[in-house]
Amino acid sequence: MNFYAIRAIYTFEMARTFRTKLQSVASPVISTALYFVVFGSAIGSRMTVVDGMPYGVFIVPGLIMLTVMMQSVANASFGIYIPKFIGTIYEPLAAPISPWEMVIGYVGAATTKSIMVGLIILGVSFLLVPVTIAHPIMMLFFLALTAISFSLLGFILGLLARNFEQLNLVPMLIITPLVFLGGSFYSIDMLPPFWQTVSLFNPAVYLISGFRWAFFNTADVSITASLFAISAFSALCFAVISWMFATGYRLKS
């Protein structure tokens, strides 16, 4: 394992984040704070309790997951697409490092950024609503698992994208609906039976449900199902990345 190469990629990506603090950190935190104001205060004050808790408290895990998923995809896809766009991707491809050392460097940096933003939002939520965490260790585990799995997905999207339009198209048309329909702002038990069944094919449901269980000890699906589903999703991402590096698809052409 070439730890020097991993550290070099990781350090470079993290340095880029700290050079753009307003875009990388402040922007998602401010946007999520606005969600708290709009959904938690304005709309939440007109709604009854959900799963035995005030609506403003109920949406905290969903809002954190919403931001972490979106940031993971954006950070990882942008991180690998820029070297492709400017042509520097050939340097690590020609260097004596394995593809997975590249993946660890880029995905590790994207994961770190997303977890950092998620923890900041969690800290802000304590100032806005009386939220409690029933299982802190599992909360951190699901937070890290979400950041890793969606960073892998973002890495794939960054490799597939041919231009900046495609880089933004998939997250906007696919990732955003998946997250919004994954129970960020509601319990899937509130849906009609047909849409409850449809929701079970959405990987975001399992992550949000598991993360919400870590807070409130209540979930839409079992924790075992959540862990199995996200493990399968991560394994699929690993398989796609392995195939892309093995064939050079969108890497060498």
What are the residues facing 53 on neighbouring strands?
50
Calpha distance 202→220 (Å, rounded) = 13
Q: Which residue blocks in 129-251 are alpha helix, DSSP H?
A: 136-160, 164-170, 176-180, 193-199, 203-216, 223-247
Domain count, the chain: 1
pTM of the predicted protein model:
0.86
Distances in whole angstroms, Cα of residue 158 to Cα of each of 152, 165, 170, 229: 10, 11, 10, 23
Query: pLDDT of 183-233, one tens digit each?
Result: 888 888 888 888 888 888 888 899 899 999 999 988 888 888 888 888 888
CA distance 67 to 140: 15
Is 253 part of any domain?
A: no
Is 252 domain-assigned? no
pLDDT in the model for residue 137:
94
Low-confidence ranges of the chain (pLDDT < 50): none
Within a domain: 21: yes
Residue 250, token pair as written in the block: 């969108």
How far apart CA 7 and CA 73 sit, in angstroms, is 21
Question: Which pLDDT score, from 0 to 100, does residue 21 have?
Answer: 66
Q: What separation in angstroms does the CA of 113 have from each of 7, 28, 107, 121, 185?
A: 15, 11, 10, 12, 24
User: Could you list the residue range(s) of the whole structural domain that residue 111 is in?
Assistant: 3-247
For residue 144, CA distances in Å to 72, 123, 139, 151, 207 come to 11, 16, 9, 10, 11
Helix axis angle, 99-128 to 27-35, nearest 10°: 40
- By the 10 Å C-beta count (0-12 exposed, 13-18 middle, 19+ buried), 211 is classed as buried
